[in-house]
Copies of this chain bind each other. A is one copy, B any other.
Amino acid sequence: MSYQSPEKHTHTKEIIFRTAAHLFAQKGFDGVSMREISEQSGVTKPTIYYYFGSKEGIYEALIDSGLQHVISSFEEIAHIKVSAKDKLVMMTKKFFQLTVDAPDFSKFFMTLAIPLSDNTVLEKFRKQMFNQGNILKTVINEGIKSGEFGAAARPDLAAQIIGGVWQHYAWQQLSTKKKILSEELAEEIIEILFRGLNE
């Protein structure tokens, strides 16, 4: 996991943070105990409570930190002055890169995406995922306006399909040790979808 948490943590807090990310990614929220985090991080349990307040507290901290990282990455790309198609390729590459570089965080975020019902913590996350979809939609709309995509292209459908393919490939990557995500694959995928979506 090469992901750097954006806020400045003390050393101890950072260790707790990373250990928790790793464990939650492997076993999900309910599959991990505070004892486990404590033992694996070498930090006593009350110390974890001192920094994060509760089990949900760590969870939320991980969500916030990860979201901040991912969203800023995509918005950066959205503002570069290249064609809409190139933006889609760059975003796909970025997404693949994040998945490969920080598999723990990616896996963790995958577990969040599953709509387990009673988890109120996750509303924030869902909203942001929705926003990510909107970034895609904005890029596609841009391409329609500029004539790069045909006027009949359907931004909603396109954003859904692209997001779906991203997620699916991340999934695949996280299930295997072989490296399947690559820059070439990102280009191929967008090429195919571009052809299909661009009526």
Interface residues in chain A, defined as those with a beta carbon under 8 Å from any beta carbon in chain B: 26-31, 107, 110-111, 113-118, 126, 157, 160-161, 163-165, 167-169, 171-172, 174-175, 188-189, 192-197, 199
Knowing A30-B27, A192-B157 are in contact, say whether A114-B117 is a contact too (CB < 8 A).
no
CA distance A27 to B115 in the complex (A): 9
State how many angstroms separate the Cβ of A102 from the closest Cβ of chain B: 15
CA gap between A76 and B169 in the complex, in Å = 27
Give chain B residues whose Cβ lies under 8 Å from the Cβ of A193.
161, 192, 196
Distance between Cα atoms of A27 and B117 in the complex (Å): 7
Residues of chain B within 8 A (CB-CB) of A199 are: 195
Q: Are A168 and B163 in contact (CB under 8 A)?
A: yes
Interface of A is mostly: helix
**What are 27 sample pairs from A and B whose C-beta atoms fall under 8 A apart?**
A26-B116, A27-B117, A27-B118, A28-B28, A28-B30, A28-B114, A28-B116, A29-B30, A30-B30, A31-B116, A114-B114, A115-B174, A126-B175, A160-B169, A161-B165, A161-B168, A161-B192, A164-B168, A165-B165, A165-B168, A167-B168, A168-B168, A192-B196, A193-B196, A194-B196, A195-B196, A196-B196
A118 surroundings in chain B (CB, below 8 A): 26-27
Query: Which B residue sits closest to A176, measured CB to CB?
Result: B115
In the assembly, how many copies of this chain are there? 2
A189 near B161: Cβ-Cβ < 8 Å: yes
CA distance A197 to B169 in the complex (A): 17
CB distance from A142 to the nearest CB of B (A): 19
Quick one: which of B26, B172, B195 contacts A117, CB cutoff 8 A? B26
Q: State whether A113 touches B171 (Cβ < 8 A).
A: yes
With A27-B118, A31-B30, A116-B31: A172-B160 Cβ-Cβ less than 8 Å: yes
Alpha-carbon distance between A168 and B133 when the two chains are bound, in angstroms = 12
Q: In the docked arrangement, what's the CA distance between A115 and B111, Å?
A: 9
18 new A-B pairs (CB below 8 Å) besides A26-B118, A107-B115, A111-B116?
A27-B116, A28-B114, A29-B31, A30-B31, A114-B114, A115-B174, A157-B188, A160-B165, A160-B168, A160-B172, A161-B193, A164-B164, A164-B167, A167-B171, A192-B196, A194-B196, A195-B195, A195-B196
